[in-house]
Structure 1
Amino acid sequence: MNHENTDLVLATRQFTVLLSSTRRGARLARLLTERQLADWGQPFDAAAQVVAELAGNAVLHGRVPGRDFRLTLALSGAGTLRIAVTDTRGERLPHVTQGDAPDAESGRGLLLVEAYADRWGVDLGPVPRKTVWAELEVGRERASGVRRHGL
């Protein structure tokens, strides 16, 4: 490993935990995010909202009985926080419900993710998993408007 790569590795902080695919597990994901970011000396309000939505979706739409979901937080030295939630329902992809479907029963929560995150998307695999991720530039003011997502 060269010196440049060593600096990059040392500049990234990471936290990963498996949680039960229950409402309690989703709540714990949010609480652990708040605590971990506080320990890292980072603001956590926006990240906690994103984690609450992604963990809630993993429990509601990605749950397979007996299988956990994984929460990963990675803070780069450049100030980008990557939130990733992995579940075992790779065939059920998230979608955003736009304003033309106000009576839709799901999808509106991802509008919150779009509002808080600078980027978000979905990575498939390995089968049967999917990972829904969001990236936030820590300490940057959120501008109003639509965010880009990678679906």
Structure 2
Amino acid sequence: MDRAIRQLAAPARTFAHMLSSTPRGARLARLLAMVELRSWDVPQDLTERAELVVAELAANAVLHGSPPGHRVRLVLVYDPPARRLRVEVIDARGDLAPPPHATAAEPDALTTGGRGLSLVTALVDHWDAVPHPHGGKTVRAVLSERAPRT
């Protein structure tokens, strides 16, 4: 029997880590993400954008999303064939969702919350916030490798 054997796609790679809801925890989220993405040989463009996205989402979760004593969870899922990365940051404040898809920040935006989500919007394919099944919320961002500039 001559049957072609179908090649299996490379499995998605996942990473999850609980972090303290402190500025140190937010910095650690960025550092852990970079180490993991580099070990997976994620393309440099994707890794660099992910670093900024993880830093912003983790900082927001620590600052706005987790009361003292709660933890923040960082999840990375990389699909090598699609060259697509999903970043999730889960915090305890389901009642406090980020504003809908921020665009270019107004000049006075720094007094009301900064420009971080505008930066996230510019770097990712899309992002959203959804309720987490056990309380809290998950802020998700999807990044795909961008075509090289010519």
Give the TM bin, normalised by the shorter chain: 0.7 to 0.9
* Equivalent residue runs for 1:3-14 within 5 Å: 7=8, 11-14=11-14
Establish whether residue 102 from structure 1 lines up as the match of residue 108 from structure 2.
yes
Offset at 1:98?
4.8
RMSD, aligned CA: 2.3
Q: Which runs of 4+ in 1 moved over 6 A?
A: none
Asked whether the equivalents of residues 105 and 118 of structure 2 are also in contact (C-alpha less than 8 Å), the reply is no
- Per chain length, whose mean CA-contact separation is higher, i.e. which structure has more relative contact order (CA < 8 Å, sep 6+)? 2
Asked whether the equivalents of residues 86 and 141 of structure 2 are also in contact (C-alpha less than 8 Å), the reply is yes
Taking structure 2 as the reference length, the TM-score comes to 0.82
Asked whether the equivalents of residues 86 and 142 of structure 2 are also in contact (C-alpha less than 8 Å), the reply is yes
Larger Rg: 2
Matched residue count: 138
Offset at 1:93?
0.6
Offset at 1:79?
1.2
Offset at 1:107?
4.7
The letter of the residue matching 2:67 is V
Correspondence for 2:97: 93
Distance 2:124 2:148 in 1: 11
Taking structure 1 as the reference length, the TM-score comes to 0.81
* TM-superposition CA deviations, 1:35-79 (whole Å, max 9, x none): 001001112111000000000000000012211000000001311
Asked whether the equivalents of residues 97 and 106 of structure 1 are also in contact (C-alpha less than 8 Å), the reply is no
